[in-house]
A and B are shown apart, each in its own frame.
Chain A
Amino acid sequence: MNNEDKTDSLGDLARDLRARNSQVPDGVAERLRVMRQDAVAVVDKPRRTAGFWIPAALATSAAAVLVTIALVPEPGPGIEGIEPLPVHLAADELAAINDLDVLEDLEFLAWMEEEASSAASG
């Protein structure tokens, strides 16, 4: 038997093997059929394009914002017995409070001077 004959016989055997390997047990064939149908169904489904994903992303972002707003707690009452600081005071009002303290100090100093001078004259 020369090399060509051997190759031919091997080719014949390969064809026979192909035919043999095209047969599978019934249970395997059924499972393969179901798998194939599921896989082909993937191709049948329309692909979702940017036209789907962009509105979906916007809707998700809006929902996240709404949920965040709903979950953030309202500012509660302060410590019992102490009024919470009025958070709406403006900067100039805060400055005025400081000025009042200074004015009170000045009045006290003036009173001290008056007392001292009246004690000296009296």
Chain B
Amino acid sequence: MARNRPLYGWHGLVLAATFWWVLTALPARAQSFGEALIADDSGLGRFPTEAAQQVVSLPDDWSRTRPLQQIPRWYRLHFDVAGLGNKPGLLGLYIERACANVEVQLNGQSLLAVGRMSDPIALDCQRPLLVPLPTALLREGGNAIDLRLAGYSLEQVASRQRAGGLSAPQVGPFESLHARHARADLLAVTLPLAASALLVLTGLSALVMARSRRRDSHLRYFAALAIGWALVTARLWWHELPLPIFDSELLLASLPALVALSAVQFLLHYAGWRSRPIEVALYAQCVLVPTSLLIAGPLRMHMMATSWYGLLVLQVLAAMAFYLWSTRRARRRDFWTMVLLLGVAAAMVILELAAQQRLLPSPWQQLPYILLPLAFVAMGLRLVQQYGRALLSAEDSRLALEARIREASAEMEKNYAQMAELRVEQVTQQERKRIAADLHDDLGAKLLTIVHTSESERISTLAREALEEMRLSVRGLTGKPVMLIDALGDWRAEVVGRLSQTGVEGEWSAPSEELPQTLSARAYVQTTRILREAVNNIIKHSGASRCTIRCLIDSGDFQLAIQDNGKGIPLELDGRLDRGHGMASMKHRAKQLHGQCLVESGPGYGTVIRLTIPLERHTTQS
């Protein structure tokens, strides 16, 4: 916003320069008429020379010189070509203001007659006139220019700009008058027209924006304001309304009430404040204005309209003040831009109001018709900018919302997956328990029966092994990880207990401090069985009198060394160790645990079984 302010500064400079150029009057070598002969129109189509002739000073303001009159008036201007210097070339007559319509004759020859001269008279008050004076019609000595002016009295019209009157005409070289006319025409007609067109466009775009954003009600009122003002100024170039003067003035005087309604509502809504009573009052006012004008009648049109204008301007100024006050409190970022725009608008409105009291010099009178639309257009640009920004932020928030929805649905999917997983886990757990129970009750019972009823020691041993196998499976199904320190306790109790029962001197050494490691159920059971097998061998086959078991944890490995002083394992014929001693199954089990089992044995030297299991692989398995 602050970034934009210098830009407005530039615009201001350019505007100021333009107006400086427009406002500086060109010097013209022309004769200005300070007074004229006048006579009321008598329907002859020429200056009524026979009627009583009076002299009036120019410019002639009908509201002062002939109030409440509306009969067309003739003006006669005398001039001498010789008074304009040598060889003036083509001469022209320049009239800055002739309200409402004028006919021009030179030496009795009609030069200009455009538009209706009776009610409704063509209202051409703004347009400056330039009439070429044909050289052939000019006489040596004296020439007479007759002007027939038709118009309305001030009382009949809602605006002083449309009250009858004639400015001081000028006669001079056509060329120099033409430049002056062109500039005046630009200022009085072309620029206001262009500004109005721009205003309509702005209003329409605001309307389009308002349609797509119903929430932003201020856009709607802005559109009404812009288009309404364009209509008010349309009278500058719309000359011939096919309505009696009273009706057209009534219409025209009622429009400002609508414009005021739009302006006030726009400002209030833009400030984010709505009031139902004010809205109702404003609408009521729109009805009240034409009603009061109607009641007051044609001859009090100007008085009533001017009073209303004053009231309306007060309302709008109050709304502006309210807007600035409330937005200053809310610290809106474009506050100073709005101060500038509203300041220009307020100045122009006051200027226009002043113009109703007293006719101002021409450039000042036109200023509101140019600057006010420009202020509106700037305001419209602001609104478009805000609209675009709102659109962007809406897009942003939509994207953010989409992202949030995506996140939420991803979260939901994740939760759902987790729940499903949990459910599967639960069902699996239940099923495992059921299978474990079945295995124990059925298979276990049968194996047990074989263990204890078989005549053959071999079958009994096999069945016991099968039972252990089954238990391993069950443990694998339901088993939790075992703390290594607990496992060591279990193993020690079993090994030392069995060795002492069989009279073998056992020595057990293991780390006794707190051990954080755990073993998977599988690793625990497999290691238990390797150890059990080894102790079995010692008790049954080795004939050893002494057995040493050492457990230690070394760089993530669990190491177990079982040493006896027995006779060792006899070699088979092929040089390998006796299979009957279960070495193969011990090695196989160690391999399953990604570890290894080494057996060192020699006849007469005893046996050492070294088991190494990597701990980290089994600490997390369950």
A in complex with B = no
Which A residues form the contact surface with B (CB < 8 A)?
A: none
Which residues on B are within 8 Å of A, measured CB to CB? none
